[in-house]
């Protein structure tokens, strides 16, 4: 089997690569957790791209049910059709496969991304245990079993909004994407920009980590915010010297008013607090 070794647009740590390959070899879902903005969703895209597989994304919302991923039986359409004398004896026509079903039906191996699984109801992961284990499900309406010809590579992301049930966790390969250090971050940023002034990048990174280290931030800026910020700095033609002094476009890095205030306060070291 082909190994995943990163891609042109995605810089992965050796540990992450090893986790992806372990999950592939053991045919288990890979559960990826990490701070928002550390590239959890991007990972699936990069894996699909690098291995030349199709990517199927199932974005989970708070209202998503496990059944939605398998199939939906469009009874209303069938009833309507029957009104106009159409032949509705083939129930199969009214069964619409969900994302999971779609992935099972693929003839070639594909990557299935179950994005932000923790958004869904707390019981949601438990409802998918059998399907993810056996890679099959049964449609009672048509007495059909949809079974994956090739097991899709399942990547699941979670922002840890809700804790996931143990039974589900036991079946997953777990990887925590640690926040990248400065060296790694430099590589990541460089992947996103063609020609970036070295001085600008160095200064931006330094200030970025300084901002992250500020005490009392409610939402620390993450990789995606850094990339937006570097772009803003580049387009704005900000000179590296100004970056550290005034943190231009701070609103790109920090999204909360309280955090911006914290930053402003930290830039006035002589203010006394009583």
Partner 1 sequence: MFTDLFYLLRLRGLRVSLQEWQTLLRGLELGLHRSSLTGFYQLARAVLVHTEADFDRFDRVFLEYFQNVQSFDELPPELEDWLNTPIDPVEYDPALLTNQGLDIDEIRRMLEERLREQHERHDGGTHWVGTGGASPFGNNGYYPGGIRVGGQGRNRSALQVAGERHFRDFREDTVLETRQFQMAFRRLRQFSALEDGPKDELQLDDTIRETGNNAGRLKLVFDRPRRNTVKLLMLFDSGGSMWEFTNLCASLFQAVSRESKFKDLQIFYFHNCFYDDLYTKPSCLHADSVSTEWVLSQLGQDYKVIVVGDASMAPYELLRPGGCSDYYTYNKEPGIDWIEKFIHRYDRMIWLNPLPKANWDAGYGSETIRIIKAKVPMYRLTLEGLQEGLRALIAAR
Residue ranges binding partner 1 (CB under 8 A): 15, 18-19, 21-23, 25-26, 28, 31, 33, 62, 75-76, 79-80, 82-83, 122, 161-166, 169-176, 178
Cβ nearer to partner 1, comparing 66 with 164: 164
| CB neighbourhood size of 9 (10 A) | 12
Residue 171 beta carbon to partner 1: minimum distance, rounded to whole angstroms: 8
How far is 274 from 256, CA to CA, in rounded Å?
A: 24
Cβ nearer to partner 1, comparing 110 with 156: 156
Residue 117 beta carbon to partner 1: minimum distance, rounded to whole angstroms: 13
Cβ nearer to partner 1, comparing 40 with 229: 40
Closest by Cα among 177, 261, 192, 182 to 230: 192
Residue 216 contacts residue 262 (beta carbons within 8 Å):
yes
Residue 98 beta carbon to partner 1: minimum distance, rounded to whole angstroms: 18
Cβ nearer to partner 1, comparing 35 with 54: 35
Cβ nearer to partner 1, comparing 77 with 145: 77
Q: What is the distance in angstroms between the CA of the first residue and the CA of the last residue of the chain?
A: 64
Residue 5 beta carbon to partner 1: minimum distance, rounded to whole angstroms: 14
Residue 227 beta carbon to partner 1: minimum distance, rounded to whole angstroms: 24
How far is 80 from 15, CA to CA, in rounded Å?
A: 54
| Residue where the block lists tokens 């005034």 | 246
Cβ nearer to partner 1, comparing 9 with 25: 25
Residue 110 contacts residue 56 (beta carbons within 8 Å):
yes
Helix ranges, 27-72 (H):
40-51, 66-70
How far is 242 from 77, CA to CA, in rounded Å?
A: 62
Residue 195 beta carbon to partner 1: minimum distance, rounded to whole angstroms: 34
How far is 244 from 253, CA to CA, in rounded Å?
A: 14
């Amino acid at each position: 089997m082909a190994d995943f070794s990163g891609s042109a647009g995605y810089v992965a740590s050796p540990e992450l690569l090893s986790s992806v390959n372990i999950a592939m070899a053991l045919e288990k879902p890979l559960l990826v957790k990490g701070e928002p903005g550390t590239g959890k969703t991007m990972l699936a895209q990069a894996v699909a791209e690098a291995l030349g597989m199709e990517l199927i994304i199932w974005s989970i919302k708070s209202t998503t049910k496990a059944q939605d991923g398998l199939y939906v039986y469009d009874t209303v359409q069938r009833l309507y059709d029957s009104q106009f004398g159409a032949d509705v004896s083939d129930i199969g026509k009214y069964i619409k496969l969900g994302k999971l079903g779609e992935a099972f039906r693929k003839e070639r191996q594909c990557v299935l991304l179950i994005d932000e699984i923790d958004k869904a109801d707390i019981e949601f992961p438990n409802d998918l245990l059998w399907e993810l284990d056996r890679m099959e499900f049964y449609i009672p309406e048509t007495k059909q079993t949809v079974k994956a010809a090739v097991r899709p590579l399942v990547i699941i992301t979670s922002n840890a909004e809700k804790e996931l049930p143990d039974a589900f966790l036991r079946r997953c390969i777990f990887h925590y994407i640690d926040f990248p250090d400065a060296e790694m971050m430099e590589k990541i940023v460089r992947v996103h920009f063609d020609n970036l002034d070295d001085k600008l990048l160095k200064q931006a990174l330094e200030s970025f980590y300084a901002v992250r280290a500020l005490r009392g931030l409610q939402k620390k800026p993450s990789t995606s915010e850094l990339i937006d910020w570097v772009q803003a700095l580049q387009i704005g033609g900000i000179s590296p010297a100004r970056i550290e002094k005034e943190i231009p476009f701070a609103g790109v890095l920090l999204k909360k008013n309280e955090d911006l205030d914290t930053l402003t306060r930290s830039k006035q070291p002589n203010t006394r607090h009583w």
